[in-house]
Amino acid sequence: MKNSLKIVAIASSLLLAGCSTMDETASMVKADNPPSNMTLGDSYLSDFYSYDGALAAPGMLLRKEPLNEQQSNPGAGENVRLLYSSTDGLDGEALLPVSGVLFLPEGAAPAGGWPLMAWTHGTVGIADICAPSWNGRQQQDRDHLEFWLKNGYAVVASDYQGLGTAGTHPYLATRPEAYSNLDIIRAVQSSEFPVSDKVVLFGQSQGAGAAIATAAYAEGYAPDVNIVGAVATGVPFFSPEALIALQESRPRDRVDPMLGYNLLALSLVQRINKEFKLGDYVSDEVMPIAQSVQNTCHKDVKAKVIAEKLTHDRVFKQAPDEHLYSAFSQMGYPTLKLPVPTFVGTGAKDKDTPPRMQSAFVKRACKAGSNIVSKLYPTLDHRAVVPGSTGDTLSFVKAAFAGDEIESNCGALPF
């Protein structure tokens, strides 16, 4: 399984690249591990993100405050930062604070409140400074959320466990994402915000996996949350067939802009396996970049990978296959029989979550009995499928909120 380290690179959203150098990174990060009183990615943002009070139950709003201009979203009449309680998705027991936002449309809410959409974001990194509620969002996401706000939908969006708040964000681990999403929905719906008691999930790439996981975990973890539909574009799916195909497609000696995703995946390995030592696997030359994920956002790590023309063979002295496969177990879904109608949009030119990977998910979900609406967009890639699918997703979401029958196309899939 020579190319197994390439696989995780496929499962995250493609973000815009910045610019930095290996020397600059080396000057930023010296230690192989963060200080003993902090975990990987932790930093102080503001008092808002720190909470020392008792947590009685998940899904409780702890505090709120207005967002600044950079953090706010066009098309929103109200932009609110939230802190709420949730359950640690790794151990499944401990309560912890998680941050996020709520965007409300302009004008007066309709009777019953604004129909509520729960946005699940794509890859930003694991450093607290990358939390969207603090750092803002890439322009495409801002435009996408503006589209829904201007169509009369409120948008709630979790940062996910460990992004912004204490603890390491367990990158691509689906249960922590699901719990974080379900509990921010609970927190908003149980407060005095003018939102509906129904919700539709929608997300892209890492966020598509998070949306699918949220629907899959809902009945067991939060049966009180009334999810009526889910929209997912660029869905990651770690099936055996998809893994084999991806392994065969990524040469180890070729410059690979997606290696930044691999480094993020190794942060999950570090999170779940205290015995894992990054220095045993990552080359000394590349170690500064590998370490930089703890205080640098993904777009800038990716820029360093590109600037240094890194290949798999330059990054790794040995492949941590066994450890990485243990992380894959955290990235799956508890069931593929989803309880709500689910729209899956796939760009035929997607290189991050290729059509073969998404096809495997759709076919398995259909076989399990899910109501899947699958659309293939021949000219679109991983990013373009988000705005490119809104003509279809808007009608799907309207039907989901209205309670109309949504017909699956599992019998005539586009793949």
**Residue in this structure with the two tokens 């899904």, named with its chain if needed:** 59
**Residue in this structure with the two tokens 């009449």, named with its chain if needed:** 77
pLDDT in tens, 191-249: 999 999 999 999 999 999 999 999 999 999 999 999 999 999 999 998 666 666 666 66
pLDDT in tens, 115-133: 999 999 999 999 999 999 9
> Residue 369 in 3-state DSSP?
coil
Per-residue CA distances from 12 to 196, 226, 326 (Å): 30, 27, 18
Residue 7 is predicted with a pLDDT of 39
Alpha helices in 249-342 (DSSP H): 259-272, 287-291, 298-307, 312-315, 321-328
Domains of the chain: 4-38+239-328 (no CATH), 47-237+334-412 (3.40.50.1820)
pLDDT in tens, 375-407: 999 999 999 999 999 999 999 999 999 999 999
What is the per-residue DSSP string for 112-152?
T-EEEEEEE-----SSGGG-HHHH---HHHHHHHHHHHHTT
Per-residue CA distances from 361 to 7, 54, 148, 353, 378 (Å): 15, 40, 26, 11, 18
Packing angle between helix 259-272 and helix 298-307, nearest 10 degrees? Answer: 130
Q: pLDDT category, 6, cuts 50, 70, 90?
A: very low
pLDDT in tens, 48-68: 999 999 999 999 999 999 999
Residue 243 is predicted with a pLDDT of 61
Residue 250 is predicted with a pLDDT of 67
pLDDT in tens, 12-43: 332 222 222 333 332 223 334 444 445 889 99
Residue 319 is predicted with a pLDDT of 81
Q: Which two tokens stand for residue 138?
A: 């890439």
Nearest CA-CA partner of 160 in 291, 304, 264: 264
End-to-end CA distance of the chain: 27
Sign of CA dihedral 180, 186, 189, 190: negative
Residue 247 is predicted with a pLDDT of 62
Helix (H) or strand (E) holding 178: helix 174-189
Beta-ladder partners of 311: 255
Nearest CA-CA partner of 208 in 391, 7, 393, 40: 393
- Considering the chain, what percentage of its residues have pLDDT values greater than 70? 88
Of the listed ranges 224-233, 308-317, 320-329, the one predicted with least confidence: 320-329
Q: Which two tokens stand for residue 75?
A: 């098309």
Say which residue, 374 or 2, is predicted with more confidence.
Answer: 374
The answer to whether residue 164 scores a pLDDT higher than 90 is yes
Residue 190 is predicted with a pLDDT of 98
Residue 40 is predicted with a pLDDT of 86
Residue 257 is predicted with a pLDDT of 82
Three-state DSSP string of 371-395: CEEEEEECCCCCCCHHHHCHHHHHH
Of the listed ranges 66-75, 161-170, 296-305, 312-321, the one predicted with least confidence: 312-321
What's the rounded Cα separation, in Å, for the pair 400 and 391? Answer: 15
Nearest CA-CA partner of 133 in 108, 157, 97, 111: 157
Residue 281 is predicted with a pLDDT of 93
